[in-house]
Structure 1
Amino acid sequence: MKTQILGIDLGTTNCALASVQADDGSVETVGIPQITAPRTVGQPSGLPSALYLPSRNEFSAGDFALPWSDRDALPVAGEYARSHGPNVAEQLIHSAKSWLCNPNVHPDEAILPWQSTAVEEKLSPLSVSSAYLAHIKAAYEHSQGPSDAVAAETQAVITVPASFDEAARRATQQAAEKAGFGSNTLFLEEPLAAVYAWIDNEASNWREQLSPGQLLFVCDIGGGTSDFSLIAVDERDGDLALERIAVGNHILLGGDNLDLALAYVLRSQIEAAGQVIDEWQFRSLIQAARVAKEALFSKDALTSVPVAVPSRGSSLMAGTISTELARETLQAVAVDGFFADVEATDHPETAVGSGLQELGLPYEADPVVSKHIAAFLTQARASLMANAELCKRLDPTGERFAAPFLSPDGILFNGGVFHASVLRERVVSMLSRWAGRPVKALAGGNLDAAVARGAAVYGRMHVSGDGMRIRAGAAHSMYIGIASSIPAIPGFKPPVQALCLVPQGMEEGSETVLDKELGLVTGRSVTFQVFSSAERPQDVVGQLIPDADKMLETSQPLEMIMPEVEGIVSGAAIPVKLHARLNETGTMELWMQHTRSDNRFKIDFNVRLD
């Protein structure tokens, strides 16, 4: 039997599914059946990343039955959760994907809906992500036939942000396993998936649009996040090759922020007209602002779009509260606000720190996307300058690195925000002005489905062995914490050092052995502190970084019980040497070899997803 190949975009605000057709190998976007209203099943092209937890007796039995089950699918995922949930906000879960990489929260901790007191049982970010994946899996299997047969011959590729740290990537793998996806499941960075989709869409013509020595900027802005990557174009054996050389931070800034800003402007207009709306109506206003925004962006002839929200009167004749979104307002907020035409030296402003803060999602203090692009290109240059070999290969004349930022030659847009041509034009114009030369925008396909389609393309390549693979290596350098061996001092906590295990860019199949002996505690529960950095490409395997808490990003610690070693007192440290290998699936295999016996201890870290 032929393998079913699926590409899944597990998005912050929307999920998408694509599959490879068995007859001709083409990639098609697949609709996902879901509840669109009580007792109503629709099949939109995507699955909104929203989960609604109905209260007891809120709905009747059978209101949320799906075709593949004779029981209500609870919690409710998808379109109805997104449309109905804002009316009962304390029972709605959204942005679960961003919670996966929140360093203050364990991905398996039941905290969602965040700060809600209205639900009986909360869910963890990992469980919510797993619920979306399980829904997509069940929907696809229902369309294909018996689930056991499909599961046995399915190759799934699930995407994640390039900016995800190691803990978030491990959590995504665990969510996939919990949803029933097999151990052969592959994981792919979203910007790379967008590039694979573009290559597949362009067929052989893509080589005519890029040249050796050029840089491609992948600008992926969806509803909730912004994700940036730089791809270098190289030549190997007479053919073009691509290599991902830089990734940005996880930026909680996207189309949802724009909709919220427009809603605040519209509320001011309503209040200026002598009317007042409450929080329930304001949530409806956010959705109405999104619809009006999309209408204005898609139809140049429109000068304004009416916006209405329901009143709170009990009478059917209570009517609505109305205003309008003018094109001038949209231009001021979206184009000149979020995508302001700034200078390359203008970087995001940092919020003045307050002594006390809510432990919520770390939203960006500066909403100007243009500044975040400038900061990424500046940081990419600073990081790559530490890699002399790569600098020489990318810029043999030294002209590109003479500027304080890296100027790309081409840009590939992805994400729903860029349905608006005026926003694409603003970014291209700004990058061209910074570079002092034209920056070419590559023609993309379906901005909402490109990531899922690219994941399916990658799955097809993996199964067939054919196709051009983008070299990526580890997106971040990775380190393991080492406790300092110094005398105890009252009131002083010894600093934690970090040992570099995986340098940024380390390729699959690479293996290293560290000569330094370390002490491994056995016979009890231990914690391994993991650190990472996307800004230290100069670090090499075995390098010790002092004051790791200050110099590096901290991930969730790994806790495990180390087995006892015969003849060694429980809790004592034994001398070990570290053996690290980055395998073909992007997982680092870390072996700790006891230097006085044949005992070996293995720990798996997920450090890179294709």
Structure 2
Amino acid sequence: MTAQPHEPAAGAPTSRYVVGIDLGTTNSALAYVDSKESPWRIRTLPLPQVVAAGEVDDRPTLPSFLCQATAAEQQFNAFALPWSDAPQPWAVGAFARDESSSRPGRVVSSAKSWLSHSGVDRSAALLPWRGDPDVERLSPVDAAAAVLRHLHDVWNHRFPQHPLAEQDLVITLPASFDEVARELTLAAAKQAGLPRVVLLEEPQAAFHAWIDRHRDDWRELVSPGQKILVCDIGGGTSDFTLIRVGENQESGDLEFHRVAVGDHLLLGGDNLDLALARSVEAQLAAGGRLESRQWEALVRSARRVKETLLADNAPESLTIHLPAAGSKLIAAGLQAEVTRTDAAKLLVDGFLPRVDLDAQPQRGQSGFQDFGLPFAADPAITRHLAHFLTCHRHTGDELPALRARPTDAADPARPDVVLFNGGFFASPLLRDRLVEALGEWFTGPDADWTPRVLDSQQLDLAVACGAAYYGMVRRGDGVGITATLARSYYVGVAGPTPRAVCLAPGVAKAGDDFEVSDLEFELTLAEPVEFPIYVSSTRLVDAPGQLIGADPAELTPLPPIRTVLHASRKTDAQVAKVRLHAHLSEIGMLELSCRSVDSQRSWRLQFDVRSTTETDLKPHESSAEGEGFVDDELLTAARAAIEAVFGESAAEPPSKLMKSLTAALDLPKHEWPTSVLRRLWETLMECEPGRRRSAAHESRWLNLVGYSLRPGYGFAVDDWRVAQTWRAVSGKLAFPSSLPESLILWRRLAGGLADGPQQGLAEPLLADVRALRRRYSGGKAKAMSTALDPTRTAEIWRLLGALELLTTTAKTELGDAITELLPKRKLAPRAADMVWTLSRLGQRKPLYGPLNTVVPAEVAERWLQAIMDWAGDPPVAHFAAMQLARRTDDRHRDIAEPRRDAVLAWLRRHEANDHLVQLVETGGALEAQERQSAFGESLPAGLRLSE
């Protein structure tokens, strides 16, 4: 069989070694080929790692766990490695995994799952999630890089003459990883000193490993027309891939075509551990919850129990031992027995239930909120698999090489062959149940049917070996897989109903180019443009340029594409007419660009990674873009009203502006839609020099800019608008009396400010709060740093509460200060403002910030008592108590049940709103009025922000 065309570019240097790395959720591995060996073979590299304090040993895999050394361990260099004499602050591998039960607050795990988690700032130091106070945190990218760095160092220690950075290197990732997660994987590799890598999907790697094991007989094991299902379920993800066997019409050689991949599912061995831990917790805590330290230890122990009881020749039962609660270290710990029968019933029936082929996965929120990871809402792997197979009944039928598939009575959704991969299938119980499910779905009326199961030896090493094999395929030596894009990409089109135009079809292959020739954009240069981008793993044959409805059941929004186009010369036209161009690179990354219709100019487009790595905001969460715009004549009149106050020949006083705008737009102020407000902002920025005419001009300008751009996000390219406003205003006030109005401006735009500006705004205000705290605690008072008095200025407090990107340390200090100052009589006029700030600082669900900025539950509990003791405005107190006690079903965010019961009793006793009580008791989403209370003012008309 001829190899698929994956050869590197002509003239590219050829390294001696080809290396494959499986960067796994639970275990990582490294395999390699020495190209000077003939015939070449794949070998796995033994991986030295710390297995006990002061002890290093070789293991075939590297557990993807990191444990931070204590001060004593660093002092004695307990994590010393053969290639370095320097004290090691982290241990990577077996020791870290084993220590995760006894000291979970010092151990980082599941870093790969965090790379795909859009609900946190993946560039922020947040792991270990809810770690010990003295632990240095790592970002998910840092943690993945640490694992790769260890593999890098192992290789260079073993092959010092051939550094890993100079070898052909393939790193695997889940097939369902989106573009952001792929980019972050590449960033982690670069941080680990590996700047030149190729990415490969894990199911493809597993199949390549199978081909390598059957070099001599693979042609006898598969035949043209067959459909191969690769089920790759590891510690963190469930990946489904379909490979179809074709026949080259000219040569007659067999070909493999990867035609479909499943949706990204955070569903794997970690979920089984959590389910088993929940079951044991119910026994030990009598229906309540264990302390966090005990729970973390229980989850780690559950992994060991699961692996033992679901294996061949499992014992009848195992006992789990947990440490004592709280500070009673000499008290007896807890223990529970788990039987093999109970474990099988819970885990096999719970995750692989018998369902019909037409079953649909449940939507909503996962019952597992632990560790902050967004686990799949439906834990039934069989239900997800059934949906995947039925969605792809005919995927690939359009490919010429695959049209020879036999036509028989079998359901086209049926796979003929199955390859299992991942640690999940180390258990024969789980493997056999999935085979049974496939048999039940496709058994005919006349005879039973079961799929042919390909042998899957060395589940923990197959992906790394397959990656090394693929590296040889890229050199033209081996049997390759022709992989289509397997996801269609679309650009959103504005209109009365959501629509999208196909940019690149799912049947695209590496090297393909697409241009939507009948869709042109006229773009103003030197201003940002945003393209809403969607992806679908089910609509794979839409043609480029095809217009479809943006059905959320079929299309998933990605981070938007954003760019600023610049002309080559100032004399060039300042408007460009462009078409969108898509190119599928060799490593499966989609590259998009704008190409000028009238010239040879081209602009590269970038996914807005910030929208998923720095906040938990979803792109396109607002319906405001679809409102359309107010009539141009009205906007022209509004522009004239602004210019009459701030323009070069202004004659009107600032006091008349709002009345003039209301008349010009023929709408009351609260009904101005978001699209109109953003246009007003544009005019205000053009007239920005006019704010310096007087203090009244500047105050009105700041007020209207903030009103027009609130809440700083939710509309296309709002982050750019906020950045422009920051550059124009920060540190550049013309009149000191405008300072209070500037605080209102930044409070309104806080959701669009990055963490740096937020920290810059907070520092002087926090200094003022510290000075106030010292004054009332009998200490030596210091002068205020901002010329504003927190006892008089409400906006100092409200701005601090709106800055959700502040660290939990800063929030805790501020909240503690508020609880101390709240009873002071002289501060009574500001008490309601301080309580509102406390509600934002301690909220269990952020309005826009990432989850890693939520203060610990025990801190919120401390503040709750101060709120309930406050004798001020009841509605303000009720709302604040709800914010701090609101149920999320994440044990690390939720307050303790006794405290929740006390809050519920207090709310009911004081006749709080029924919905506030419900939010504390069972959870749910804020209603419109409650969201306005949380933001501190109304939101623009038409803006729909998701929680």
In the superposition, the TM-score normalised over structure 2's length comes to: 0.56
Tell me, yes or no, if structure 1 residue 554 matches structure 2 residue 557. Answer: yes
Secondary structure of 2:482's counterpart equals coil
| Residue 423 of structure 1, aligned match among 427, 430, 433 | 430
Shift of 1:200: 0.6
Unaligned runs of 5+ in 2: 1-13, 444-448, 609-947
> Partners in 2 of 1:295 and 1:269 — Cα distance?
20
Partner SS, residue 425 of structure 1? helix
The equivalent of 1:448 in structure 2 is 460
Aligned 8 A contact 1:103 1:556 in 2:
no
1:466-545 to 2 correspondences below 5 Å: 466-481=477-492, 484=494, 498-515=500-517, 516-545=519-548
- The farther-off stretch of 214-223 and 556-565 is 556-565
Q: CA deviation at 1:235?
A: 1.5
The aligned residue for residue 598 of structure 2 is 596
| RMSD of Structure 2 on Structure 1 (CA) | 3.5
1:407 is aligned to 2:414: yes
1:37 aligns with 2:40: no
Secondary structure of 2:217's match?
helix
Query: Which deviates the most, 303-312 or 222-231?
Result: 303-312
1:95 aligns to 2:110 (yes or no): yes
Residue 161 of structure 1 deviates from its aligned partner by 0.6
Deviations 1:204-247 (A, max 9, x none): 21221112111111111111211111111112222221111111
Pair 1:395–1:276, CA change in 2 (3 A): closer
Equivalent residues of 1:476, 1:504 under 8 A apart: yes
**Does the 8 Å contact 2:259/2:483 carry over to 1?**
yes
For 1:88 and 1:335, the matched residues in 2 are separated by 29
Q: Secondary structure at the match of 1:413?
A: strand
Give yes or no for contact 1:159–1:189 (8 Å, CA) kept in 2: yes
Kindly tell me: are residues 528 and 584 of structure 1, through their superposed partners in 2, closer, same or farther at Cα, counting changes over 3 Å?
A: same
Specify the alignment match of 2:385 in structure 1: 373
Unaligned runs of 5+ in 1: 487-493
Deviation at 1:420, TM superposition (A): 1.2
Quickly say closer, same or farther: Cα 1:279–1:556, change in 2 above 3 A. same
**Larger RCO: 1 or 2 (CA < 8 Å, sep 6+):** 1
Supply the AA of the counterpart residue of 2:239: D
Question: Does residue 407 of structure 2 align to residue 397 of structure 1?
Answer: yes
* C-alpha deviation, 1:47, in angstroms: 1.9
Q: Supply the distance in 1 between the matched residues of 2:193 and 2:348 (Cα, whole angstroms).
A: 43
Per-residue CA distance 1:560-596 (angstroms, 9 max, x = gap): 55434324689x5311233433243334444433233
Q: Residue 174 of structure 2 contacts residue 202 of structure 2 at CA under 8 Å; is this kept in 1?
A: yes
- Three-state SS of the structure 1 residue aligned to 2:19 is strand
Q: Residues of 2 paired with 1:564 and 1:120: CA distance?
A: 49
Summarize the Cα distance change of 1:583–1:309 in structure 2 as closer, same or farther, 3 Å threshold: closer
Structure-2 change in CA distance of 1:276 and 1:128 (3 Å): closer
What is the alpha-carbon distance in structure 2 between the residues aligned to residue 554 and residue 276 of structure 1?
A: 37
**Contact kept? 1:252, 1:363, Cα under 8 Å:** yes
Shift of 1:164: 0.9
Cα offsets for 1:262-316 (capped at 9, x unmatched): 23333444567x9996443343333333333333333437323344345569999
Q: Which whole-Å CA distance do the structure 2 matches of 1:109 and 1:216 have between them?
A: 40
Mapping for residues 554-593 of structure 1, pairs under 5 Å: 554-567=557-570, 572-593=574-595
Tell me how far 1:112 sits from its aligned partner. Answer: 3.3
- Deviations, residues 111-141 of structure 1 (Å, cap 9, x unaligned): 4334558367643322222222122111111
C-alpha offsets along residues 473-529 of structure 1, whole Å, 9 cap, x if unaligned? 2121123455x3x7xxxxxxx877544222102012222333233224433555554
Closer, same or farther: CA 427–547 of 1 in aligned 2, 3 Å:
closer
Contact residue 518 and residue 576 of structure 1 kept, 8 A? yes
Q: CA deviation at 1:70?
A: 2.3
Query: Where in structure 2 are the equivalents of 1:222-261 lying within 5 Å?
Result: 222-236=234-248, 237-261=251-275
Give the Å deviation of 1:459. 0.9
Corresponding residue of 1:164:
177
Q: Judging changes above 3 Å, is the alpha-carbon distance between structure 1 residues 567 and 323 closer, same or farther for their aligned structure 2 residues?
A: closer
Secondary structure at 1:230 match in 2:
strand
Q: After TM superposition, give the deviation of residue 446 of structure 1 in Å.
A: 0.4
For the 8 Å contact 1:498–1:548, the answer to whether it is kept is: no
CA separation of 1:426/1:547 partners in 2, compared to 1, >3 Å: closer, same or farther?
closer
Residue 295, structure 1, aligned to residue 295, structure 2? no
Q: Secondary structure of 2:386's match? A: helix
Q: 2:163 maps to which residue?
A: 150
**2:433 aligned counterpart, secondary structure:** helix
Q: Equivalents in 1 of 2:580, 2:451: separation in Å?
A: 46
3-state SS in 2 of match to 1:512: strand
Q: Is the 8 A contact 1:31 1:46 kept in 2?
A: yes
Structure 2 counterpart of 1:201? 213
Give the residue type in structure 1 aligned to 2:566: P
Distance in 1 between residues matched to 2:283 and 2:387, nearest whole Å:
34
With the length of structure 1 as denominator, give the TM-score of the two structures.
0.85
Equivalent runs, 1:245-394 vs 2, <5 Å: 245-270=259-284, 278-300=291-313, 302-311=315-324, 321-351=334-364, 360-381=372-393, 384=395, 393=403
Preserved CA contact (<8 Å) 1:475 1:504: yes
More helix by share: 2
- Paired residues, number: 584
The separation in 1 between residues aligned to 2:320 and 2:553, in whole angstroms, is: 49
User: What is the CA distance between 1:388 and its match in structure 2?
Assistant: 5.1
> Could you report, residue by residue, the CA deviation over 1:172-204 in whole angstroms, capped at 9, with x for unpaired residues?
122222222233x21111001000001111222
- Contact 1:103–1:554 (Cα < 8 Å) also in 2: no
Partners of 1:384 and 1:391 within 8 A in 2: no
The structure-2 alpha-carbon separation of the partners of 1:422 and 1:127, relative to structure 1 and needing over 3 Å to count, comes to same
Q: For residues 544 and 118 of structure 1, do their structure 2 counterparts lie closer, same or farther at Cα, with a shift above 3 Å needed? A: farther
Deviates more, 1:32-41 or 1:519-528: 519-528
Which stretch has the larger CA shift, 136-145 or 549-558? 549-558
SS of aligned partner of 1:63: coil
Contact 1:221 1:415 in 2 (8 A): yes
Q: 1:123 aligns with which of 138, 142, 151?
A: 138
Moved more, 507-516 or 367-376: 507-516
Letter of the 1:145 counterpart: P
In the alignment, the residues of structure 2 paired with residue 503 and residue 276 of structure 1 have an alpha-carbon distance, to the nearest angstrom, of: 48
CA distance in 2, matches of 1:449, 1:101: 23
Cα distance change on mapping 1:276 and 1:350 into 2, 3 Å:
closer
Looking at structure 1, the residues matched to 308 and 370 of structure 2 have their Cα atoms a distance apart, in angstroms, of 35
Q: 1:520 to 1:69 in 2, by over 3 A?
A: farther
Could you tell me whether the CA contact under 8 Å between 2:224 and 2:405 is conserved in 1?
no
Report SS of the residue matched to 1:229.
strand
Larger Rg: 2
Contact 2:487 2:536 in 1 (8 A): yes
Question: Share of identical aligned residues, percent?
Answer: 39
Q: Which moved more, 1:363-372 or 1:158-167?
A: 363-372
After TM superposition, give the deviation of residue 169 of structure 1 in Å.
1.4
**Counterparts in 2 of 1:202 and 1:600: CA distance versus 1, 3 Å:** same
1:489 paired residue number: none
Deviates more, 1:579-588 or 1:64-73: 579-588
Q: Report the Cα distance in structure 2 between the residues aligned to 1:322 and 1:605, rounded to whole angstroms.
A: 50
Q: 1:514 to 1:195 in 2, by over 3 A?
A: same
Provide the secondary structure at the position in 2 that maps to 1:203. Answer: coil
Q: 2:288 and 2:360 mapped to 1: Cα distance?
A: 39
| Counterpart secondary structure, 2:321 | strand
